[in-house]
Structure 1
């Protein structure tokens, strides 16, 4: 398992959420039935590419949340496929450009109970990623919508 996935899954376990899983191919014609429940997800490059971050490398390009995983992941798939088909069109967002060029998957974790705060969980995942890599994933524009707290502990790479 990729080191960054271990970091994110540790946060999910701590909060009582299911592990990120259920590969959803962003360029496939169809995919598995995704729950229409709220949850969090991450998009990764799936050709073995590891993106350089200030403190390590990861295949993760985006961390997100949704009130309806089925609708949101389908939007990601549709935009990624459009981007791949429209070579001469203006660029969408980095997450779609990366997926169109290299292939990509989303792994998701449905909220374990109705009413769980997906925005706060997204923020915790982004914070865990940033604590480890000193930045948020390349395609995330912001640190999340929930309350953001700077790291309170020493960075794991610090000597």
Structure 2
């Protein structure tokens, strides 16, 4: 696993993930150079971060966060992150990669971390949905930086 020079999701770990019973983002790895075989095939959310020690300037502050995603399909987090990784690695750097986050991640070091969904709680079904948690992460990011992450589009 890799150390990221500026791990900005710490506030989101507390404000969103832990608040709704999810584990904090962990097991960070270099998206291009490392491929931890132990990435689970479970439902969860993930974050892509730009490296190189140079955060992205947002309307209010700086952050290395490029994109939040959800993994709800059969291969879970491993499958979804693998799809992104394959498209980034196989795309020529002179061409648009097909996803807004890929351009940013191809241009500099790229990191990823994930959080797996907790066991289902029938009393709180929404808070255990990866789609709902991804949406809450993006909303919290928007409150902090007054825009969505560059890989998730922008808000007017």
TM-score range, shorter-chain basis? 0.7 to 0.9
Count of residue pairs brought into register by the alignment? 141
Preserved contact between residue 8 and residue 125 of structure 1 (Cα < 8 Å): yes
1:122 pairs, out of 131, 134, 156, with 134
TM-score (norm 2): 0.81
Secondary structure at 2:152's aligned position in 1? coil
Match of 1:69 among 77, 80, 104: 77
**TM-score, scaled relative to structure 1:** 0.80
Give the C-alpha shift of residue 3 in structure 1.
7.0
Alignment of 1:5-84 (within 5 A): 5-10=9-14, 11-28=16-33, 30-67=35-72, 68-83=76-91
Mark the runs of 5 or more structure 1 residues left unpaired by the alignment. 144-159
Whole-angstrom distance in 1 between the partners of 2:53 and 2:40: 27
User: 112-121 or 61-70, which moves further after superposition?
Assistant: 112-121
> Which of the residues 149, 153, 156 maps onto 1:137?
149
Which segments of 5 or more consecutive residues in structure 2 lack a partner in the other structure?
A: none
Distance 1:43 1:130 in 2: 16
Residue 89 (structure 1) aligned with residue 95 (structure 2): yes
After superposition, the C-alpha distances for 1:90-146 in whole angstroms (9 at most, x for unaligned) are 443231122112020111000011472111111111111001101110010378xxx
1:16-67 Cα deviation digits (max 9, x unpaired): 1100011132212632421100001110012112101111000000011111
45-54 vs 115-124, which moves further: 115-124
Over aligned residue pairs, what C-alpha RMSD do you find?
2.0
Distance (whole Å) between structure 2 residues aligned to residue 89 and residue 3 of structure 1: 29
Distance 1:142 1:32, change over 3 A: farther
